[in-house]
Structure 1
Amino acid sequence: MNTATGEMWLQHTHLDKLYGYLPGLADALPTIFGMSRAAYSETIERFAAQARAAAAELLADPAFATRVDGLPFQPGQTVLALGDSITDDLQSWAEILRHVLDLHRPGHGVRVVNAGLSAHTTAMVLRRWPATLTAARPDWIICALGGNDVTRVGPEPTKPQVSRSESTANLHELRRIAAHSTTASWIWMTPVPVREDRISEYAAFRYGQSTWRNDDILRLAEEIRGFADPVVDLTATFKVPADPLLQGADGVHPTIAGQSAILRALVTHLNAGAGTTDRHTEEA
């Protein structure tokens, strides 16, 4: 594995979340990603610095900073970011949120737990969900799942990995379990639109015969917009097809500008009054 490939996987794949219980895993991670220990640490620090710079850039906008002042998170609360690789990204909206709070509301002690899991469908996350809730004890849950449910696999694929009805049922079950186990406020985010032209040209997706279609994403987004809790509609933020500056080279994973746009839409929504039963569609 060359350095560039190792960095790409490290950005979106965090084995410690899945297999942290295995003895010696932490010491083995640099080798797994084909890096020296020093290069591994430097890469993680660089991604963190870039996420922090994105947070500072957002806060340079007085309107955004004012919205951060109005966020409903109380001192000492925990925000659980639930999602797939878009959330798991070391430069994700959840990581930028962490830095925004640290820079603009220092000392408030709001904890952001990034529970994103790359390549996970709603069914896969559901299997781990009770343990995740027990470990995090969240006051807020922001759910950004479904992007892997709509993945299509194989030559001339005929169906998404998970049907829309099953995705919807899994999302409702995640919500039901959380309501039973916690008093957390819940926010939904719709899946992010893609660039189908970039997906078709991306070598890793061609090798795995994996593809995404915006029609599938829009249908699942429509289901989510009908949920009772507040919804941030990222199809409005990214547009369809996705804005080429917001969507990354592979057509699926947003650029850091796209991640910042996700957070801007979320903060705008939360500032307007999350935790109510009103649903809002926000644009970045």
Structure 2
Amino acid sequence: MKVFLAVISLMVLMQTDATGKRHKMRTHVRNVQGDDPLLEVEPIPPDTMIGPCSCQCCENAPEPLVAPKCANDIIVAVDSSACFRDHHSKMMRFLRRLVRKIGRTPNIQYGGDETRLGLMQFSSDILFPLHLSSFEDYTNPSTRKGLMNGIDEAISSLGFLGEGSFLNKALNATVSHFQNEPRPQALLDQISPTTPRPVVILMTNGKSHPSVTMDDIELSIAGLQAAGVTVIPISVTRECHGVQNEVWNEGLCPDTIILNKLAKVGRGDSSTFMEMKSHD
């Protein structure tokens, strides 16, 4: 309390001293007014006062920078050919966890100005149970939870196809789907200058029907590269290191040459394919 009172006293003292000095100055001015006519002129204060308490310097400050959202168009392509009959349920469980993980990851969550997801099944037929333009281009439902529930329902509808696998046709179909289902211009304007990146997550073993040649696959890979697509291949089974095992006997050993070729599309020469079991 004593300190507080001392501070108040000091402030009053300083104010009184300043008042006295101003009074003496006025008296002196009155005494010399007759000698100097300029003293009778009233000073005109400036229109704008600039000082340490002025905010004028901040009036034209630029808007804070906001990082653009990461816009991706992702197609998950699932090989549903006959050799995966006994693996279908496991592939669906992996797929469900994968799309949930995408939806919960910052900067790539689902939304019209963020990530759109398409689902494709392929064997001798090619189906799109979920298009990139679904949910009104991922704007309705407006919540991420609502979109994830809709995607989950689409996964639940995926049945097993069977028959042979035509990987080249599946790869070509992804390029066509990206081109045929672009985002509306209004949404593109919202996410400018970010350009949506096309990505294919491919669940397969790289095997195809005997009629599909390496030249067919190479031609499809060239089409992916020309379209600027990034490919992330995921092998359904682990790489085989010998012929005396169940996977080899079932014809499920991944074609590592084709999978590694696909892994380099949009990701660089050092990229390799992943294995579903190692991430299951």
TM-score normalised by the chain length of structure 2: 0.35
Decide which structure has the larger Cα Rg and report it.
2
TM-score normalised by the chain length of structure 1: 0.35
Larger helix percent: 1
